[in-house]
């Protein structure tokens, strides 16, 4: 039965089915209509949610451009609270973390990044958050905590970046053999056309094969 029939037409159809086939067919049709209605309702609701989340994220980008820290935080909190199951919540928390770093509020940045690691739906978003957390921990002179953060890999496409951060952490711990190994691992994954590869190559070649 078409879901686009008028209400009167649907009633007439149901009466005819009842007359011709009885309860079993009538129930089957009613169930089918309920499922169809439920599916369309769910689909439309998901579209509405994605639109609201996207719209909020656009406002967040504008607030970031205007360097409005308070508004960035407000919108991020709203997206995390009401739209945590969409990618936009994770994106927003990454931006809020960057804003916190720019404002030299590293603990706030770490809190945002921790949320991303625990809740973001996209593996790439979680991995970016892990890498940035590790960088902040290194800036706070906590290389061991940085290494702990990178024990889990959410997205293998970030392997080279992970190994570079590990190398920097081992350098901070004065474990040059492990640092050289990490930089070497990074180079096996690094695209040859990236300018930053030269920096990693320099770090790799400057280190001795073994610790003195």
Condensed to tens digits (0 to 9), the pLDDT of residues 186-205 reads 888 877 666 677 788 788 77
| pLDDT for position 199 | 81
| pLDDT for position 169 | 97
Overall size of the chain counted in residues: 212
Name the stretches of the chain with pLDDT < 50.
Answer: 1-3, 41-42
| Distances 169 to 15, 162, 205, 206 between C-alpha atoms, Å | 75, 11, 17, 16
| pLDDT for position 53 | 78
| pLDDT for position 111 | 96
| Distances 172 to 168, 169, 182 between C-alpha atoms, Å | 6, 5, 13
CA pair distance 177, 170, nearest whole angstrom: 8
Q: pTM of the entire structure?
A: 0.73
Tokens standing for residue 171? 């350098």
| pLDDT for position 1 | 46
Rg of the chain over CA atoms, in angstroms?
27
- Helical ranges in 140-175 per DSSP H: 143-149, 159-172
């Amino acid at each position: 039965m078409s879901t686009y029939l008028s209400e009167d037409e649907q009633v007439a159809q149901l009466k005819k089915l009842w007359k011709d086939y009885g309860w079993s067919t009538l129930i089957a049709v009613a169930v089918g209509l309920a499922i169809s209605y439920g599916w369309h309702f769910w689909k439309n609701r998901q579209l509405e949610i994605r639109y609201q989340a996207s719209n909020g994220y656009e406002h967040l980008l504008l607030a970031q451009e205007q360097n409005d820290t308070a508004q960035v935080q407000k919108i991020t909190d709203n997206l995390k609270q009401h739209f945590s199951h969409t990618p936009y919540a994770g994106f927003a928390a990454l931006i809020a973390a960057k804003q916190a770093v720019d404002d030299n509020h590293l603990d706030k940045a770490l809190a945002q990044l921790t949320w991303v690691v625990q809740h973001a739906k996209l593996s790439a978003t979680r991995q970016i958050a892990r890498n940035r957390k590790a960088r902040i921990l290194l800036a706070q002179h906590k290389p061991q905590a940085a290494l702990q953060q990178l024990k889990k890999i959410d997205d293998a496409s970030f392997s080279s970046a992970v190994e570079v951060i590990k190398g920097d952490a081992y350098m901070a711990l004065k474990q040059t053999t492990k640092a050289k190994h990490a930089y070497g691992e990074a180079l096996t994954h690094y695209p040859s056309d990236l300018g930053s590869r030269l920096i990693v190559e320099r770090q790799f070649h400057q280190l001795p094969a073994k610790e003195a």
